[in-house]
């Protein structure tokens, strides 16, 4: 059996690539020479590697005229479903979806079966990611054993394992017990870990189905009040400050949450936050026809919330975009609203949705997109240090060759049937979105070329 715990397959053996005329972060056109897993040379199109006339032997050339080059995207919040729900997604199909979306690293959430709450399970997921080879898979460890919320999981053993877990979350469930949350925050300080909280006060959301407000009243569905999210975020910010530890808030969905996080950051506390592409683009008006494709946790909110989330991402209160890619088989979604599963796919549409919500509106430029979808999530996920799995680096000579080439001028209708994800529950199905991922490179090796899987 192949031992996947060894060093990466020698990137040195990969043929070099010369990328010609890509607009770095949407700015000036430049050439990038990728060799030995690194950006071996980066320069203006006039003086760059192509102009030097010294193309290395065997180099392949990619004409990137009109394309934007961004550092490979990093997702802090992906549900890969393996082990246990391979009918919804596998590490293989989920990382294919990630690569097609421009991602070079994803954090795999712990709510698998078995739960990723031991060194054994997180190492298994990490190895499956390496075997698939399409993007780096960083397992997220559970905070509590079995996600049961009663006692801490083996946080230290997961941190010390080959998977080197640094992000811990019971996502799907909230660590609602304040004492457990405090202990978890204290525990991860020793190895610079972070607790990623799914902020949902369980008693306030018992049976909740949609955002509490006009729509829940009209549809006769149990409402999901904003305060159920905001109360937990406020409590956790205070706890993180009290113990001097790092809190990350998953999928912020309300205007009030943005205000609380802004306040916590103004105090200098170690609090970071993410927002999903769907919460940046969609509102609860969509649930009017009881179509469960729009059923998600936390729920779609109001237009005022969407505006606050966009403003919070633009001004940096919300650090990053994370997909909360949550694949479900057809039978779990194409059923009655009340019994349908919560969740939406997102890896293959994330960058396009962010272009629509943030770039087309003038709220972020492409350097801002690179910051919110690569640089900052890499820092929060502790992928900015040393070692092979280094992400969120600038596109300069010497950086790991993790990057995406993107055509912002493309525009077409989202068709989940064409997605690599095993599941089809995209809320953007049938919507016209801008943009197209043309190529993705992981340490100099193409995982996507011409919009299709390269390996
Ligand atoms: Zn969640």
Give all domains of the chain, ordered by start, each with its CATH number. 11-69+397-453 (2.30.40.10), 72-380 (3.20.20.140)
Q: Calculate how far, in angstroms, residue 276's C-alpha sits from the geometric centre of ligand 1.
A: 10
Distance CA 254, CA 79 (A): 22
pLDDT value at position 58?
A: 86
Q: List residues with catalytic annotation.
A: 324
Q: How far is Cα of residue 109 from the mean position of the Cα atoms in its chain?
A: 10
**What are the residue ranges of helices labelled H in 28-118?**
49-52, 91-100
Distance CA 346, CA 37 (A): 28
Q: Calculate how far, in angstroms, residue 143's C-alpha sits from the geometric centre of ligand 1.
A: 13
Residue 340's Cβ-side half-sphere holds a number of Cα atoms within 13 Å equal to 23
Q: Calculate how far, in angstroms, residue 275's C-alpha sits from the geometric centre of ligand 1.
A: 11
In order along its 455 residues, the chain shows pLDDT tens digits of: 333 334 445 455 689 999 999 999 999 999 999 999 999 999 876 566 666 566 778 899 999 999 999 999 999 999 999 999 999 999 999 999 999 999 999 999 999 999 999 999 999 999 999 999 999 999 999 999 999 999 999 999 999 999 999 999 999 999 999 999 999 999 999 999 999 999 999 999 999 999 999 999 999 999 999 999 999 999 999 999 999 999 999 999 999 999 999 999 999 999 999 999 999 999 999 999 999 999 999 999 999 999 999 999 999 999 999 999 999 999 999 999 999 999 999 999 999 999 999 999 999 999 999 999 999 999 999 998 767 789 999 999 999 999 999 999 999 999 999 999 999 999 999 999 999 999 999 999 999 999 999 97
Q: Quote the tokens at residue 180.
A: 């457990």
User: Which residues lie across from 438 on neighbouring strands?
Assistant: none
pLDDT value at position 2?
A: 35
pLDDT value at position 3?
A: 37
pLDDT value at position 44?
A: 79
Distance CA 164, CA 167 (A): 9
Q: Concatenated DSSP letters for 88-104?
A: T--HHHHHHHHHHTTEE
Q: Calculate how far, in angstroms, residue 54's C-alpha sits from the geometric centre of ligand 1.
A: 50
Distance CA 16, CA 415 (A): 34
Look at the alpha carbons of 431, 321, 455, 82 in this order and tell me if their dihedral is positive or negative: negative
Length of the chain: 455
pLDDT value at position 385?
A: 77
Q: Concatenated DSSP letters for 305-338?
A: HHHHHHHHHHHTSS-EE---B----HHHHSS-GG
Q: Are 360 and 408 in contact (CB under 8 A)?
A: no
């Amino acid at each position: 059996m192949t031992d996947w715990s060894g060093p990466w397959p020698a990137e040195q053996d990969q043929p070099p690539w010369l990328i010609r005329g890509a607009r770095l972060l949407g700015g000036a056109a430049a050439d990038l020479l990728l060799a030995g897993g690194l950006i071996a040379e980066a320069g203006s199109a006039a003086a760059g590697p192509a102009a030097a006339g010294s193309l290395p032997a065997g180099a392949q050339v990619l004409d990137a005229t009109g394309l934007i080059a961004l550092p490979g995207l990093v997702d802090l919040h992906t549900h890969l479903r393996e082990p246990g729900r391979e009918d919804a997604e596998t590490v293989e199909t989920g990382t294919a979806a990630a690569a097609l979306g421009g991602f070079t690293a994803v954090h795999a959430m712990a709510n698998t079966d078995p739960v990723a709450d031991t060194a054994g399970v997180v190492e298994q997921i990490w190895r499956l990611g390496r075997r698939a080879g399409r993007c780096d898979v960083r397992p997220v460890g559970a905070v509590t054993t079995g996600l049961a919320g009663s006692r801490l999981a083996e946080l230290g053993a997961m941190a010390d394992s080959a998977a080197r877990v640094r992000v811990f979350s019971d996502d799907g469930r909230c660590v609602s017990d304040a004492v457990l949350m405090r202990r978890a925050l204290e525990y991860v300080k020793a190895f610079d870990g972070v607790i990623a909280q799914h902020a949902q006060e369980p008693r306030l959301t018992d049976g909740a189905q949609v955002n509490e407000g006009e729509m829940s009243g009209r549809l006769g569905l149990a409402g999901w009040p904003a305060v159920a999210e905001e109360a937990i975020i406020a409590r956790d910010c205070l706890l993180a400050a009290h113990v001097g530890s790092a809190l990350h808030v998953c999928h912020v969905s309300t205007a009030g949450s943005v205000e609380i996080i802004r306040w916590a950051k103004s105090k200098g506390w170690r609090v970071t936050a993410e927002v999903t592409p769907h919460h940046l683009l969609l509102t609860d008006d969509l649930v009017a026809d009881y179509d469960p494709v729009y059923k998600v946790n936390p729920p779609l909110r109001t237009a005022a919330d969407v505006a606050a989330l966009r403003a919070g991402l633009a001004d940096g209160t919300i650090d990053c975009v994370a997909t909360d890619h949550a694949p479900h088989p057809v039978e779990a979604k194409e059923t009655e609203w009340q019994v349908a599963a919560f969740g939406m796919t997102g890896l293959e549409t994330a960058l396009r949705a962010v272009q629509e919500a943030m770039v087309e509106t003038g709220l972020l430029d492409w350097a801002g997109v690179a910051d919110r979808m690569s640089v900052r999530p890499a820092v929060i996920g502790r992928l900015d240090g040393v070692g092979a799995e280094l992400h969120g680096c600038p596109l300069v000579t010497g950086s790991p060759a993790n990057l995406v080439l993107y055509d912002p001028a493309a525009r077409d209708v989202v068709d989940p049937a064409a997605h690599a994800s095993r599941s089809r529950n995209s809320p953007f199905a049938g919507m016209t979105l801008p943009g197209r991922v043309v190529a993705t490179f992981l340490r100099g090796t193409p995982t996507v070329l011409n919009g299709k899987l390269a390996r």
